[in-house]
Structure 1
């Protein structure tokens, strides 16, 4: 089976003084989250599409799903304390409600990347059915500088550098096994789900993303996203 998991557990602190997490802010005529989930609803191969949200926003998420989406595959689940804890909350829901096999996979995506395309989703599905872990990336345009305490430590070769996006896709049982091997200290420092598999020695396959598949994080990003939607419409 193929599942989708929309990670909507963030608090959106970099968005500034707003009344709700950024995934619930309005983009054009509806919440950012809804724009994102609509792209996944178009893919018929998903057995279920989970929206994993903050516990305090469960009722709100259920309300907007009921208002805007009419697909029984969409399920609302409460998330955890951080990104990877939220990811594993969604996996736990799948384990409890579906008879998972060694071949089942999950396509995970940021709720605040509403410009994902059907091509990116399809490429992730194709790749994860053949690889244990998949990351969506775009080539780095700018030179990447590694630094600490206002000093440069290293300047990697740009041609070998990529910027990570989502989806990130996994064989579910491989992901769970890798996560269970992590120490508490490792779990506390992880900011990227694919690193769970890397630390366990699993290869991560790359899928090409798009520059417009950006994450709405700041007020500036929201202005850019609004302009893109208005231009498209």
Structure 2
């Protein structure tokens, strides 16, 4: 994807040597890495900070106009959705992929009985990738509270609450399914080997 200028891989400290060896072995010239944090939002903020603070990288990077945030548990992302999300973020300040809910969401009461359920047709699952004007998402993270950093998971909500920027929502393809389970790591490893060969 020639239009993507640089890829920052945010990695746990114990996997730094592995990611460095992959970058070197496959000559990923556009790829840099930085160490993540203890939570999702801290890791994303570290990834964004490489563009404004040289202590995170060995080289200086130019701050982008638009940044795409993606995660490794959704490896089957295609260029089309990346381009749609990036273009929408450029036009609106923020954009994210969504998918229809496949299960009904319910709420329980304090005694663990059903309290109510949500009307599935009115709601969507927030997926990745998401994209933002860099200055907007960076400002949103600068305004984060400790509670946000510790428990927050949704970047689109951060820019809405901290920067009053409404995200354009784009229907994502079925391939954006999330694979957070250990069983799926074999599939992910096979996919990475295929990409790199």
Shorter chain as denominator, the TM-score bin is 0.7 to 0.9
Aligned length: 184
SS at 1:141 equivalent: coil
1:137/1:207 contact within 8 Å kept: yes
The change in CA–CA distance for 1:55 and 1:205 in structure 2 (over 3 A counts) is same
| Equivalent residue, structure 1, for 2:167 | 204
Asked whether 1:84 is paired with 2:46, we answer: no
| 1:182 Cα offset (Å) | 2.5
75-84 or 208-217, which deviates more: 208-217
C-alpha distance in 1 between matches for 2:187 and 2:107: 28
- Report matched runs for 1:53-92 at 5 Å: 53-67=11-25, 69-92=26-49
State the Cα RMSD in Å.
2.4
| 1:113 Cα offset (Å) | 1.4
| Equivalent residue, structure 2, for 1:22 | none
Runs of 4+ residues deviating >4 angstroms: 222-229
C-alpha distance in 2 between matches for 1:76 and 1:161: 35
Give the counterpart of 1:135 among 96, 110, 124: 96
SS at 2:6 equivalent: strand
2:35/2:46 contact within 8 Å kept: yes
C-alpha distance in 2 between matches for 1:138 and 1:46: 24
| Equivalent residue, structure 1, for 2:118 | 156
Asked whether 1:115 is paired with 2:76, we answer: yes
C-alpha distance in 2 between matches for 1:120 and 1:140: 19
1:145/1:156 contact within 8 Å kept: yes
TM-score by length of 1: 0.70
- Report matched runs for 1:1-233 at 5 Å: 43-67=1-25, 69-96=26-53, 97-100=60-63, 104-149=65-110, 150-200=112-162, 201-222=164-185
Structure 2 residue runs without a partner (length 5+): 54-59, 193-197
| 1:213 Cα offset (Å) | 1.6
2:9/2:31 contact within 8 Å kept: yes
1:13-35 residue CA offsets vs partner (Å, 9 max, x unmatched): xxxxxxxxxxxxxxxxxxxxxxx
SS at 2:51 equivalent: helix
1:144/1:161 contact within 8 Å kept: no
2:101/2:123 contact within 8 Å kept: yes
